[in-house]
Structures are given as structure tokens and as C-alpha cells.
Homo-oligomer: A and B are copies of this chain.
Amino acid sequence: MYNLLKGKRGIIFGALNENSIAWKVAEQAYAEGATFTLTNVPVSIRFGDIDKLAEQCNTIVIPADATSVADLENLITKSMEYLGGKVDFILHSIGMSLNVRKKLPYDDLNYEYLKKTLDISAISFHKVMQTAVKLDAVNEWGSIVALSYIAAQRTLYGYNDMADAKAILESIARSFGYILGRDKNIRVNTVSQSPTPTTAGSGVKGFDHLMDFTEKMSPLGNATADECASYCISLFSDLTKKVTMQNLFHDGGFSNMGMSAAAMETYTKSLEEEIKQKK
């Protein structure tokens, strides 16, 4: 550990259990000298282990539904009180789609669910920033990060309306990044992370097979939750003060691969079997 976040304060959204990326970010931020509050929706607080994390990081949990501006006002105000000042970093790690959960295919979306997907997974990011700005809650040279996924750029069967949510999430990072940079020298970025076996990630259809594919396609293999947390720490630190409005791939190289020898080898085996059977 390097004391990279010594004296910095933050708010971390989305830690459910020890598989969560937000959980790992909290652990590492704590080790790097930061103080922060934790938050999640009440149902996730009950369902998960966030209280254990709070204890471990010597902090508190402030429940908040990130789609509710009132909840966010309460969260941010209380966080500043508890932490003794404005915050320097925010992590947004929130995503949920009822269309995915209820297995509605993309050409049979429920539009009320779609609105919820967008509200929870993307617009909440805007609400966090708008509320924080109105409460003047972020220090100059602060750093705001949201977690995204390559589905924002490329279609993966089964990822459904979460792809659209990630696309608008990344757009919000750009749009608000301009305003916050210009007015307050605050940076806003998204991290586009490898598929990660968190509770949220695992919900997606065929997730294990996809993870094997991306593992073999990525020269460095899939990035883990722990590695993602380290990357987020670098983005919260003073080493990256002029990086803003970016979507940063943290994926072992997957995003810039067309085809690896390893993935092709696995693929080819089936293919040759298919060809044999046709004869």
C-alpha cells in the first residue's frame, strides 16, 4: 500500500458482498488511507454483507436508493457530516435490469422495466452528480468513476437492455464530465471492466461460457474484481488528474482483440466436429 488516498474522502455505491467490485474498492481505498461512507439500497443492505465491510473499514452505511434525489441528498449531506468535509471521490457501481431478470428478450421488452433499467443503472449516475454539485459536496480535483461494460459498444446476446443502459451511462460521464471539469476541475470517467463473477454479473445468461471466451481472448486474461479496484484507486489518486470524460477499458486487452490463438483453438475443435458430422 502506498498512501495514495491519504486524506481523501469518498462515497462508495454498490458493495453487496465480498464478490462486489465496490467491496474491493472499499478495502483498497481504506488501505490507501481514505475515509469514506458506504451506501446501497435497503434491500441489498439486508440481503448482503455491507455491515461487515463497514466495520472492516471503520465507517458507516447510509442507505439510499440512487434513483431518489431525496435519498441522495440525505446520503451526501450525512456523508459530509460524518467525514468532516467535502468528498474527493465517488464510485458508482449500480446496475439492474428487470427485463434480464424476467428473461424478456430484447425484441419483447417491457417498457416500464426498461425505464427502471435506465433509471437505476444510468440516470442514477446523473442524479448522484447533480445532487452532489447542488450540495457543493465535491472538492476541486475530485474524481468520479462509474463501472461500465463493453456491451455499451458491442452487442452481446443476452445482455439485453443493460447494453443500452451502459451506453447512456458512458454518455452521462462525458456530458457531466465537461461541466464538472470546466466549473470545478472534477474528473468523471467510466471503467469498462472484464466480465466479473459478481452477484450482478452472474445473472447474465451463459455467463460462465462467456467468461471462458473472454479469458482466452484477452492476452492478460480477464481482470478480477481486485484488479479493477486497484485501477479505480489509480483513478482516484492524484496521478490521473487530467484524465476525464473517458471510458477506460480494464479488461486484459479484450476490447482490442479480434481473435486470439487460444480462443480460436477452442472454437476450432467444435467446428471440426461440426464439419465431420455434416459429412
Residues of A whose CB lies within 8 Å of any CB of B are 2-4, 69, 105-109, 111, 114-115, 118-119, 123, 126-127, 129-130, 133-134, 150-161, 163-164, 166-168, 170-172, 174-183, 185, 187, 194, 206, 209-210, 212-213, 218-221, 223-224, 227-228, 230-231, 233-234, 237-246, 248-253, 255-264, 266-271, 273-274
Counting every copy of the chain, the complex holds 4
A180 to chain B minimum Cβ distance, whole angstroms, is 7
CB neighbours of A231 from chain B (8 A): 239-240, 242-243
CB neighbours of A255 from chain B (8 A): 245-246
CB <8 Å contact, A257 and B154: yes
Kindly state the separation between the CA atoms of A171 and B114 in the bound complex, as whole angstroms: 14
CB <8 Å contact, A261 and B230: no
CB <8 Å contact, A259 and B123: no
CB <8 Å contact, A220 and B181: yes
CB <8 Å contact, B123 and A107: no
CB <8 Å contact, A210 and B253: no
CB neighbours of A134 from chain B (8 A): 107-108
CB <8 Å contact, A242 and B227: yes
Residue pairs across A and B with Cβ atoms less than 8 A apart, 18 shown, are A2-B4, A106-B179, A107-B183, A111-B127, A157-B264, A160-B175, A164-B168, A167-B167, A174-B256, A181-B220, A187-B220, A206-B264, A220-B241, A233-B239, A243-B248, A243-B250, A244-B253, A246-B249
